[in-house]
Amino acid sequence: MKTLCAPTPELACFGCCPPIRPAHYDPLDFAGSLRREFIENRRTFLQEGPRYRPIVGYSCWGLGFLDARGRRAGCLLHPFQNEGRDLRYLIDYGNKCHRESCEPSRMFSLLPPEGREFWLPLVRGLNTFLYSSPRANPLFHLMLWGPHVLEPLRTLAHYMNWTETELLQRHRFLLDSAWPPRTSRYLFRLVLERFPGTTGSDEPFEELCRELRRRVLSLPEIRLPHDTLPESVYTHRLPMEPDFCDFLRLGLGWRKASPRHAGRIKDRIEEIAKEWG
pLDDT of the residue at 64: 95
| Distance of alpha carbon 67 from alpha carbon 39, whole angstroms | 10
Residue 98's pLDDT band (boundaries 50, 70, 90)? confident
**Where is 41: in which H helix or E strand?**
helix 31-48
Instruction: Name 56's bridge partners.
Output: 59
Task: Give pLDDT, residue 149.
Answer: 96
Q: Give the pLDDT band of residue 40 (cuts 50, 70, 90).
A: very high
Q: Are residues 261 and 182 in the same domain?
A: yes
**Which neighbouring-strand residues pair with 234?**
256
Q: State how far the Cα of 190 lies from the Cα of 200, in Å rounded to an integer.
A: 16
Per DSSP, the three-state class of 33 is helix
Indicate the pLDDT class of residue 230, thresholds 50, 70 and 90: confident
**In this structure, is residue 11 part of a structural domain?**
no
3-state secondary structure of 180: coil
Average pLDDT over residues 193-204: 68
pLDDT band at 13 (very low <50, low <70, confident <90, very high): very high
Q: At residue 12, what are phi and psi to the nearest 5 degrees?
A: -155, 140
CA distances from 154 to 12, 81, 148, 197, 277 (A): 24, 34, 11, 14, 25
Residue 225 has pLDDT above 70, yes or no: no
What's the predicted TM-score (pTM) here?
A: 0.90
At 82, is the pLDDT very low, low, confident or very high (cuts 50, 70, 90)?
confident
Last residue of a domain, one of 100, 117, 147: 100
Domain shared by 155 and 33, yes or no: no
Q: Does one domain contain both 142 and 267?
A: yes
Inform me whether the pLDDT recorded for 160 exceeds 60: yes
What length is written for the chain? 277
Kindly report the CA angle at 100 between 185 and 89, in degrees rounded to 5?
175
Nearest to 107, CA basis, from 205, 163, 181, 204: 181
Co-location of 247 and 186 in the same domain: yes
Question: Could you tell me the residue range of the domain that residue 87 belongs to?
Answer: 17-100
Reported confidence tier of residue 55, pLDDT bands at 50, 70, 90? confident
Q: Are residues 149 and 94 in the same domain?
A: no
Instruction: Identify the burial level of 68 via C-beta atoms within 10 angstroms of its C-beta, where 0-12 means exposed, 13-18 middle and 19 or more buried.
Output: exposed
For the cut 60, the answer to whether the pLDDT of residue 117 exceeds it is yes
Residue scoring higher pLDDT (56 or 2): 2
Task: Report the pLDDT averaged over residues 190-214.
Answer: 79
Task: Supply the pLDDT for residue 26.
Answer: 92
Q: What DSSP string runs through 186-229? A: HHHHHHHHH-GGGTTSHHHHHHHHHHHHHHHHT-GGGGS--S-S
Say whether pLDDT at 200 is over 80: no
Domain count, the chain: 2
150/225 same-domain check: yes
